[in-house]
Amino acid sequence: MHARGLPEYESRCEAYGIILVEYLNGSMLDTDPRVCAWCGKPNLPLTPTLPFGVGNRHAWLHQHCRDRWAEARHKAAIETLTIMGIVEPPKDEALR
């Protein structure tokens, strides 16, 4: 047993998830509310930009751009963490 009584693999997966979320939160940019941070198009009455983020920093996005933006950020965060030597535990490790 390891952290919080979880088996080692589950503990490592949970730790990786926490690190990933903390990295995403810590690297959130505060963007201009007048334009979408993903597509660059303006904030308009029928397609307003909305704030996404935590604390005082927000990325302003059209609602329909949010998922693609979040997916790209998630992928970039995983790539950055991998370069730093922080990797998600391999799935085959769960079978051991």
Residue 69: inside a domain, yes or no? yes
DSSP state, 51? E
Residue 93: inside a domain, yes or no? no
**What confidence score (pLDDT) does residue 1 get?**
43
Averaged pLDDT, 11-38: 94
Domain hosting 81: range is: 3-85
**What confidence score (pLDDT) does residue 55 get?**
81
How much is the mean pLDDT over the chain? Answer: 91
* Domain total of the chain: 1
Give this prediction's pTM. 0.82
Averaged pLDDT, 9-23: 93
pLDDT at 70 over 90: yes
pLDDT at 3 over 60: no
Residue 92: inside a domain, yes or no? no
User: Which residues of the chain form beta strands (DSSP E)?
Assistant: 49-54, 57-62
